[in-house]
């Protein structure tokens, strides 16, 4: 074999290897858009939590959900605005739709295998991006939360997060099931898909699509935009809790203030 032939053979081999390595990097082990940081949801400035929470395209709801929304609205109009549900160990933690819509910034730490999403410096969601499937959310050992069970994967520059396993009920006497923006519900039968994409160096778009045939007549989709707070400082909920008192029946919620 001539030197020319050897060189051509080596080069051909390297050129074959290079695209494969690049493809592998793109598939999951290589660089992906850096979404880590502190992100502030862009509320158009209604000044009202209810107005902001409902400021999404109206979902097509099941008739019983519409009736339940009307009942809750009447109850609140009648002054029933205090949560009197006892806070017990059976109460699920977290509320994904509220966390993603709330004014405290979302604090994202995106590692290769897992993405942390904290709010107000407290703990929040865990999104597994290591390729694992969902946990068996029907198993007795599964403890449902208001954050559900989230797994994610990258589709190009978009992080797609799939969530199931929400808690069937929450400890709130005013609305015992988690509300979804626009008037829907998130519960044990609900499926959420989120698509996270940087639309600028300091702008993150998240599109939420909720599906649950017991709640929605069609998938309910809306998007939020978040702005990066480059020098933001994580804050901590310094609300002083009451020291455990056996006779205390319910906790003070933000809605009571």
Partner 1 sequence: MAVRGLLALVVLVWSTSALAQGGAATARPDLSGYWELRFDSFNVPRAPLTTAAQGALEMRRAKDQDAIRGCVNVGMPAVMDDRGVLDIRQSPAVIGMVARSPSSTRYIYTDGRKHPDAEELEGTTNGHSIGRWQADTLVVDTVGFNERGITAIPGGGYRTSRAHLTESYKLAASGDQLTVTFTWTDPTVFRTPHSYTFRYYKVGAMPEPRVLNCIQNDADRARFLTERPAPARF
Q: Which residues bind partner 1 (CB under 8 A)?
A: 3-4, 7-8, 10-11, 14-15, 17-18, 21, 34, 36-37, 86-89, 91-93, 107, 109-116, 118, 121-124, 126, 135, 141-143, 145, 231, 233-238, 241-251
- How far are the Cα atoms of 19, 59, 109, 222 from residue 55, in angstroms, in the given order? 46, 11, 28, 9
The CB-of-94 to partner 1 minimum distance in angstroms stands at 8
* Least spacing, CB of residue 215 vs partner 1, in Å: 26
Instruction: Please state the closest distance from residue 205 (CB atom) to partner 1, in A.
Output: 19
DSSP run (H or E) holding 175 = none
Closer of 93 and 218 to partner 1 (Cβ): 93
Residue 202, CA atoms < 13 Å, CB-side half-sphere: 8
In the complex with partner 1, which residue's Cβ is closer, 107 or 190?
107
Quote the least distance from Cβ 120 to partner 1, whole Å: 8
Which CB atom, from 69 or from 251, has the smaller least distance to partner 1? 251
Least separation, in Å, of the C-beta of 42 and partner 1?
22
Which C-beta is closer to partner 1: that of 103 or that of 111?
111
* E-strand stretches of 145-202: 149-155, 158-164, 178-180, 184-186, 191-200
d(CA 27, CA 6): 32
**Residue 110 or 180 with smaller CB distance to partner 1:** 110
Q: How far is CA 224 from CA 42, 48, 101, 124, 207, in A?
A: 7, 17, 8, 18, 7
The span from the CA of 95 to the CA of 42, in Å, is: 19
DSSP structure class, residue 233? -
**Bridge partner list, 150:** 127, 163
């Amino acid at each position: 074999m001539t030197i020319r032939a050897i060189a051509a053979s080596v080069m051909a081999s390297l050129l074959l290897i290079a695209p494969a390595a690049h493809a592998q990097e793109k598939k999951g082990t290589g660089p992906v858009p850096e979404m880590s940081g502190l992100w502030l949801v862009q509320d158009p400035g209604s000044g009202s939590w209810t107005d902001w929470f409902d400021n999404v395209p109206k979902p097509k709801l099941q008739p019983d959900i519409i009736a339940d929304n009307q009942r809750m609205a009447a109850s609140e109009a009648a002054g029933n605005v205090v949560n009197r549900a006892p806070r017990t160990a059976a109460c699920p933690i977290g509320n994904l739709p509220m966390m993603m819509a709330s004014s405290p910034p979302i604090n994202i730490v995106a590692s290769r295998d897992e993405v942390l999403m904290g709010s107000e410096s407290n703990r929040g969601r865990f999104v597994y991006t290591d390729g694992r499937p969902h946990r068996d959310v029907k198993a007795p050992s599964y403890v449902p939360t208001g954050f559900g069970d989230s797994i994610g994967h990258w589709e190009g520059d978009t992080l797609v997060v799939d969530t199931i396993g929400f808690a069937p009920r929450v400890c709130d006497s005013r609305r015992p099931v988690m509300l979804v923006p626009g008037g829907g519900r998130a519960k044990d039968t609900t499926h959420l898909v989120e698509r996270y994409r940087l639309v600028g160096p300091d702008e993150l778009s998240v599109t939420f699509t909720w599906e649950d045939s017991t709640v929605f007549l069609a998938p309910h989709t809306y998007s939020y935009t978040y702005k990066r707070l480059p020098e933001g400082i994580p804050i901590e909920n310094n609300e002083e809790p009451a020291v455990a008192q056996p006779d205390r029946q319910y906790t003070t919620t933000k809605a009571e203030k």
